[in-house]
């Protein structure tokens, strides 16, 4: 399990689903879901997020995009 937050929380406020999770310049996940409503009055960093590991989808990504 990894614990972290967004460097630029502006993206979080605009439901940046599919955004990267990067550690030491290596992407290891994507933002999959944010619990709660973005405009419910809570400050940034007070939302529970679910991130999916990129490695699980790597074969599909490469086959679909060629990257």
Burial code (b: 16+ CB inside 10 Å, e: under 16) for 40-65 equals eeeeeeebebebeeeeeeeeeeeeee
Q: What pLDDT was estimated at residue 62? A: 83
Q: What percent of the chain has pLDDT over 70?
A: 42
Q: What percent of the chain has pLDDT over 90?
A: 0
pLDDT digit string, tens, across residues 23-55: 777 777 777 666 655 555 555 556 666 767 777
Q: What pLDDT was estimated at residue 7? A: 59
Report the C-alpha gap between 12 and 52 in whole angstroms: 16
């Amino acid at each position: 399990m990894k614990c972290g937050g967004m460097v630029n929380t502006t993206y979080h406020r605009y439901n940046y689903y599919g955004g990267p999770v990067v550690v030491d310049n290596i992407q290891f996940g994507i933002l999959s879901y944010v619990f709660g409503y973005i405009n419910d009055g809570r400050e940034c960093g007070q939302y529970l997020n679910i991130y999916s590991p990129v490695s699980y989808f790597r074969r599909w990504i490469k086959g679909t995009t060629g990257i």
